[in-house]
Amino acid sequence: MVRDIRFSVIVLMFMQVLISSTAPAAPQIQYRVEAEDGAALALSEPQLPDISGYNENAVNERVKHAREAASRGAVVQVRRIFGEVTMDDFTIGERAREWAARQYSNPQAIFLKSGFFTMAQLWQQLDRREYLERLADGTYIARLPVVVEAGATLLMDAGESLYLSQQRGSFLVVSGTLITRSAKVVGWNEQLKAPARYQRASQFRPFLVSWGGSELYLLNSEFISLGYEQSKSYGITVSQYRHEINRTLKQPSPKAWIIGSTFEDIYYGFYCYETVGAVVLNNRYVDNIVYGIDPHDRSSELIIGHNEVYGTHKKHGIIVSREVNDSWIFNNVSHHNQLSGFVLDRSSVGNVVANNVAHHNLSDGITLYESSDNLLWANRVYANDKHGIRMRNSKNIRLYHNNVAGNKGFGVYGDVQDLSDTDRDNHMDPYEARVSMILYGGSLVANERGPFSMEQPEFMKIFNVDIRFGSEPLNPNNDGIFARFHSEILDILLRQKQAVSVTPIPQENS
């Protein structure tokens, strides 16, 4: 009873502040505010994918299967990289000069042609120190690119380290199978005898790319100082081949399980392109450069769960962008990143973002840009420097049972924007300037600019949301339609205990 009285007093204070403030200019669109049955808005908790099969035992089974499937002997070759489909992206234009300058010769690579290799077997069979050196502590230094071809498997096992020489232009390409178990892969500066720490985007650093038809299993391993600003060279990349290549190859989507590993000082901690069903579970992404986790173009059915992402230097912790659809992002913690904790971008639809935590990011906690029909369920979003949850040009966004507190902007903010004066390619990334949402359950607590703001929505529904303010003087600068309809909205929510429905009034033709 006491709590109800206190809450009513707070609501009255909130209304008085709004009423006494200067009224905004009347919007072009006229709206009606109505009560409706909140029960009709209820949703069942989303069913998240079963992740019990993605574990050490399952990876060990893959190792066993790969050994047994190696019908041919292990064959390794050193040959030129030109004309090799796996190396095509890296020999276009000026990129070929990079390898020639670093190798002091016509560029070559180590090709694992067939069979099953451990690191020791590869080193013994190659027997060329200038290509692959083994140090006294068991660390291997690769001084050429290493290519695991279709039909070959490379296993890096517990305690093994592979250092990829920055000076000699080494990197790792997979079109067969790569498995790491409690191993380490490091971009290595041989001059400094230290990891090849990021200096600038254009500076070559070793990287790993896994192509269409490949299998990549990274288990309980460490990856340090990889990647730079060149196509498919971002650090850890899982990608289908370019369309003009795959019309001939007809390779299926690459397969990737990334489990229980640590990624540090990677240009993009994880990047995928046209990948179906990749699994990214229980990893730590710390102090990476542009993004922590960045699935991209036309990837789907991804499982991104139980990861911690923090300290991203330039942009977001976790972002999915350009038609990354029907995926699950759940039980992750994304914090202290340069921009947002989580982002859904460029027509990424049908995704479930559930049970995540976003805090102390320098932009929003969760951002949706031009990405409709997504469900945000039971996320905790607090202490971010801008809005808790932001939606731009995104419709039918369902916000259910999210707890949003102590953000410097609004708790929930939605708007429409005309992006025609930006460098956006509207043919590649079309969008509609439309926004709408359902806000159901959860709480909006002590967000500095106010609990919510919505500009020009197609519709907006709110039900059973706990709206509270902190001990500081109230300054709820609610923009958009809420500044006009605060009395009606609060009456329906608090006194009538029904759902609020805000919809445009159809305009008659003059």
- Three-state secondary structure string covering 102-158: HHCCCCEEEEEEEEEEEHHHHHHHHCCCCCEEECCCCCEEECCCEEECCCEEEEECC
Q: φ and ψ at 393, to 5 degrees?
A: 50, 45
Q: Where are the beta strands (DSSP E) in 297-362?
A: 303-305, 308-310, 318-321, 328-330, 333-335, 342-345, 352-354, 357-359
Tell me which H or E stretch contains 462: strand 459-463
Q: Cα-flanking dihedrals φ and ψ of residue 3, to 5°? A: -60, -40
In 331-392, DSSP assigns E strands to: 333-335, 342-345, 352-354, 357-359, 366-369, 375-377, 380-382, 389-392
Question: Which residue's structure tokens are 């960045």?
Answer: 294
Name every residue whose Cβ is closer than 8 Å to that of residue 423 and which is 6 or more positions away in sequence. none
CA nearest neighbour of 255 among 232, 268, 242, 274: 274
Question: Which is nearest to 287 in space by CA: 336, 333, 332, 238?
Answer: 336
Question: Token match 């102590």: residue?
Answer: 406
Backbone angles phi and psi of 6, in degrees to 5: -60, -40
Q: 424-448 burial, b for 16+ CB within 10 Å, e for fewer? A: eeeeebebeeebbbbbbbbbbbbbe
Residue identified by tokens 């179906």 is 276
Query: Which sequence positions are flagged as catalytic?
Result: 296
The kind and range of the H/E element at 224 are: strand 222-226
Amino acid (1-letter code) at residue 422: T
Structure tokens that stand for 113 in this block: 């042609």
Q: Is the dihedral of CA 136, 114, 257, 289 positive or negative?
A: positive
